[in-house]
Amino acid sequence: MKQLIHNGTIVFPDHVKANCDMKIVDGVIDALGSNLTADNNLKSCDFSGDIIIPGLIDTHVHGAGGCDIMDGTAESLVTLRQALLQEGTTAFLGTTLSSPVDQLLTVLDTIDAGRKDKIHFGQAELLGVHLEGPFLTAEYKGAHVGKYIPPSLPGGDIAILTRLVKSFPNLIKILTFAIDRLDAADLAAFCQSHGIIPSAGHTAADYMAMSRAAEAGIQRITHAFNTMPGIHHRKPGPMTEGLLNNDIELELIADGIHIHPAILEMAFRLKPQDKVTLVSDGTRSVGMPEGEYELGGLMTTVKNGIALLADGTIAGSAFPLLQGIRTMVQVLNRPLHEAVRFASLNPARSLGISHRMGSLEPGKEATFVRLSSELMVKQVWVKGELVVDRIG
């Protein structure tokens, strides 16, 4: 099948080009440029100057559409994937919460089956798992249930992780763990040897511990600035190392709630362009009305876009990944191409899939989102097929 998209404002990794056309052949971008010529075999569509961005890739999302990864059912997973696609997220890592090992195995089994299912028209692509916990620090557990965080004992964490990975090889792509646990160095080494990104999060570690963890192989910080000690002029904290070390990638929730805009701006100025990835940390409340929603066995109340536990703890986000792009552009006045790259090409590169997705280039999948000038979803296209249409 051949398709010609006329007159789009296409967002590339380093610039934005207006009055640009896109030729699609068999679900793949064949050509990009001005005044591409149509032939009799091409279906043509005029985008009237609307913004076209690559499909967004969320590497940290728990749920959407009233469903959660931890539900552990095929039906819930389908609904979740459909809800994410409606929000412009075309690929994601299903992100877990601290739970008993048997429950995690059930959830991973469901995700593994869903990832292998090739019949997923109208659903976001499931790329694998971001295992958040259970190897956390209780002091900074956030919305995780404390009783599901196992005691830190020599060899205990590595035994659990080994069991999970052996049961589902190549499924876990990111592991978030507290670097102050006894098995932290072994966890980092295990991740490196199994193609898993080791990420520091929910940790009480100080600056020096974070520096040692970076030397041991930690490559990323999960929802940076959240659920960890802050930066103090006499106690730098782990984020100081995260900001100054150019080898560490920062995962940032830019929903306008988790991090003050000034702190976001500081991070964007200090970090290399390829070491920032926007994530949603979205929960089952994404795309849903305000109200009460379960998260990992705890109840959250969503009001004015903020999801809170009963004690006032922020519990994930009620916003999709696209909200982070809006914050960068509309609040911080950052360039649109930069914001989009942080939510598409950067996560694609981190996961080793940038050869087929993450940017709009010839030879890559024609998976993209059509946005209004206010950065609201108008359409979603997956491999050259229109799958979400809010115009008609």
110 φ, ψ (degrees, to nearest 5): -65, -45
Residue 233: exposure state from Cβ atoms within 10 A (0-12, 13-18, ≥19): exposed
Q: Peptide bond preceding 229: is omega within 30 degrees of 0, i.e. cis?
A: no
Which among 102, 281, 311, 389 is annotated as catalytic?
A: 281
62 φ, ψ (degrees, to nearest 5): -90, -35
- How far is 201 from 11, CA to CA, in rounded Å? 32
32-39: long-range contacts, CB 8 A cutoff, minimum separation 24: 32/360, 32/361, 32/362, 36/4, 38/4
Active site residue 281: yes
Tokens linked to 228: 């960890």
- How far is 115 from 366, CA to CA, in rounded Å? 20
Give 267's strand partners.
Answer: none
Instruction: Identify which of 306, 338, 303 has the alpha carbon closest to the alpha carbon of residue 319.
Output: 306
85 φ, ψ (degrees, to nearest 5): -60, -40
- How far is 70 from 132, CA to CA, in rounded Å? 12
Chain CA centroid to CA 130, Å: 9
Instruction: Please check whether residue 213 is in contact with residue 205, taking contact to mean a CB–CB distance below 8 angstroms.
Output: yes
- How far is 329 from 344, CA to CA, in rounded Å? 15
Instruction: Please check whether residue 70 is in contact with residue 151, taking contact to mean a CB–CB distance below 8 angstroms.
Output: no
52 φ, ψ (degrees, to nearest 5): -120, 120
Residue 164 vs residues 33, 180, 293: alpha-carbon distances, Å: 47, 21, 28
Q: Are strands 249-253 and 220-221 parallel, antiparallel or unpaired?
A: parallel
Query: Tell me, what DSSP letter sits at residue 258?
Result: S
The sheet that has 89-95: what strands, in order across it? 56-61, 89-95, 125-132, 172-177, 197-200, 220-221, 249-253, 276-279
Catalytic residue ranges: 281
